[in-house]
Amino acid sequence: MNNYRVSFYKDLCNSDGHSFKCLQRQIEVQSVGPSQALVLAERLVDNERLNADCVEVMHLAGHDEFEHPACYTPAPGKHAWNRVA
């Protein structure tokens, strides 16, 4: 089992009209892979209520590893962002 941090983001506009992603909810789960981590996190978080535009799954590394982010878009037509670790 691996540890993953799943973050739910909403795309918002600031006062200048520039979009930015705003963290709505973050949860850590254990699973065998990132896809299963996403499914588990969506069950634990009411994503329908959040209506997240982007869901980021990040592998939480051990002492000798790097973190590996992956970004998933929950619905077609929504934006996806890649985060630099």
Dihedral sign for Cα 48, 49, 54, 59, please. Answer: negative
Reported confidence tier of residue 69, pLDDT bands at 50, 70, 90: low
CB-CB contact of 17 with 9 (8 Å): no
3-state secondary structure (DSSP) of residue 36:
helix
Q: Write the CB contacts of 57 (distance below 8 Å, at least 6 apart in sequence).
A: 4, 5, 6, 34, 37, 38, 41, 69, 70, 71, 72
Q: Answer whether 0.85 is exceeded by the pTM.
A: no
3-state secondary structure (DSSP) of residue 63:
coil
Using one digit for the tens of pLDDT, what is the confidence trace for 3-61?
A: 999 999 999 998 998 999 999 999 999 999 999 999 999 889 876 777 889 999 999 97
Extents of the domains making up the chain: 2-59
